[in-house]
A and B are shown apart, each in its own frame.
Chain A
Amino acid sequence: MTHAFFALIVRDLRLAARIGGGGGMAVFFFLVVVAAVPLGIGPAPDLLARIAPGMLWVALLLSSLLTLDRLFHADYEDGTLDLLAMGRVPLELVVAAKAIGHFLTTGLPLVIAAPLLGLMLNLDVAAFPALMLAMLVGAPALSFLGVIGAGLTVGVRRGGLLASLLVLPFYLPVLIFGVSAARAAMAGFPAGVAGQSLLLLAAVTLVSLVIGPVAAAAALRANLR
């Protein structure tokens, strides 16, 4: 069963690498959003530095939403999902494998690209470690909460918008705690303050690891029947 679980993750990574619809697209979208912000705001380096953590988090959230709708839909369309449901791996773990694949192809590349884009937004270099750590802790939650929306809209053609609307409220705690962790580090607060936001963010992630697969599997079962 473990073998099948990892086979599914490897298949998803391989597909993402070949089709380029996963990681590559998310990173470029991230880049486009972050590159457009300074142009839109105008020459105000101080303002940019202040809003940089929030902008990076919003961009991360949007790129995550952008890649969600194909997560189950592609497998649903070509009959793969039926067969995945008939394996010995429970549907909850199928969802978990897909979410891990989504994190590895979308969340992780974005976390790695974040410092580079932070420079473009005049973000204080001292805030990089805290921001990256918060993103690394929070990004899995975006994938594991996102699968709920993707699962609910699997039977809907062009369900991306609907999935985004459904998932957005769940994303807000991640956004709030993620930004506040980075802000606290930037403002030079004692480590404990940033740490508190980080712990709350970690709590959101841990809860999502449990709720996401169970809820999404229930949604998929309802959709398959």
Chain B
Amino acid sequence: MTTSELRLSASDLACERGGRLVFDGLSFAIGSGEALVLTGPNGSGKSSLLRQIAGLLESADGALRVEGGDPELTLAEQTHYLGHLDAAKPAMTVAETLQFWAAWFGGASGAAPAVAAALDGMGLAALADLPVAYLSAGQKRRLALARLLAAPRPLWLLDEPTVGLDTASIARLGLAMQAHLTNGGLIIAATHLDLGLAGARTLRLGAERAA
């Protein structure tokens, strides 16, 4: 990819859900190789902020600015979004699911080696031919995470990525995130747990509104 380094900044971002102001005046900036961890109580707008960045939710106010990256693509097209839902069909096998997402996100390069590497990276190689219907919640979560590895995109938006994962898988996720940052990627993650990311900054949402 012939892209310059991606830089994302938000200024005075606000979010309104169902007539209620969830947050406002939110500003942050994140550059290549950096991670931002969103914390805050339930309902403070962590998921909404991630959906706003992914272009899946409109901001009530403020602006998101993108510098660099691939000039031909929108921010959403350079972004992986991992939400609460795993986006996997029970009737498809693990490998088929991943092949589809690799083709969908990777453009021309939905290559088999990338899929195999992604399966390995999340410890799913042994389950490749199993239909998703037989996976446990944690295994489905790993399949959703493997999607991020199967097709390279610079910005990762992770909403509670560790839910349902065992300790070994959390370690694998940590490695994958560290590798992504080393390659110049960006991560914005909403979490209640310590993800163990070296040098990650923390943005606390809704602290003043919790009372």
Enumerate chain A interface residues (CB-CB to B < 8 A): 1, 3-4, 7-8, 11, 14-15, 18-19, 77-80, 82-89, 224-225
For B81, list chain A residues within 8 Å (CB): 82-83, 86
A14 to B83, CA, bound (A): 25
Name A10's closest neighbour in chain B (CB-CB). B100
Q: Which residues of B contact A83 (CB under 8 A)?
A: 81, 87, 101, 104-105
**Contact (Cβ within 8 A) B56 A78:** no
Q: Which residues of chain B have C-beta atoms less than 8 A from A82's C-beta?
A: 54, 56, 81, 83, 85, 87
With known contacts A3-B107, A87-B77, A11–B100 Cβ distance under 8 A: yes
Contacts of B83 in A (CB 8 A): 79, 82
Q: Which residue of chain A has its CB nearest to the CB of B88?
A: A78
Dominant SS at the A interface?
helix
Partner of A86, one of B54, B84, B88: B54
Asked whether B127 is an interface residue with its Cβ less than 8 Å from the other chain, the reply is no
* Pairwise interchain contact B107-A4, C-beta atoms closer than 8 A: yes
Once A14-B96, A79-B87 are accepted as A-B contacts, the answer to whether A86 and B77 lie under 8 Å apart by CB is yes
State A68–B210 Cα separation when bound (angstroms).
Answer: 43
Beta-carbon nearest neighbor of A21 in chain B: B91
In the complex the two chains form, what is the Cα distance from A208 to B33 in whole Å? 47
Residue B108, interface by CB 8 Å = yes
Given A7-B110, A88-B73, A225-B58 in contact, is the A78-B91 Cβ separation under 8 Å?
A: no
Residues of B within 8 A of A77 (CB): 85
**B interface residues with partner A (beta carbon < 8 Å):** 54-58, 73, 76-77, 79, 81, 83-89, 91-92, 96, 100-101, 103-105, 107-108, 110
Contact: B107 with A78, CB < 8 Å?
Answer: no
Quick one: closest B residue to A75, CB to CB?
B87
Given the interface pairs A4-B107, A87-B77, the reply to whether A78 lies near B58 with Cβ below 8 Å is no
Question: Apart from A7-B100, A78-B88, A86-B55, what are 17 other A-B pairs with CB-CB below 8 Å?
Answer: A3-B103, A3-B107, A3-B110, A4-B103, A4-B107, A7-B110, A11-B92, A14-B91, A14-B96, A78-B87, A82-B54, A82-B87, A83-B104, A86-B54, A86-B79, A88-B107, A89-B104
User: Which residues does chain B contribute within 8 Å of A19, judged by CB atoms?
Assistant: 91
Can you name 15 A-B pairs with beta carbons within 8 Å?
Answer: A3-B108, A7-B100, A15-B91, A77-B85, A78-B86, A79-B87, A80-B89, A84-B104, A85-B56, A85-B76, A86-B56, A86-B81, A86-B105, A87-B77, A88-B107
- Is A225 a contact partner of B56 (Cβ separation < 8 A)? yes
Closest A residue to B54 by CB, please name it.
A86
Cβ–Cβ contact A224 & B56, under 8 A = yes
Which residues of A are found within 8 Å of B91, using beta-carbon distances?
14-15, 18-19
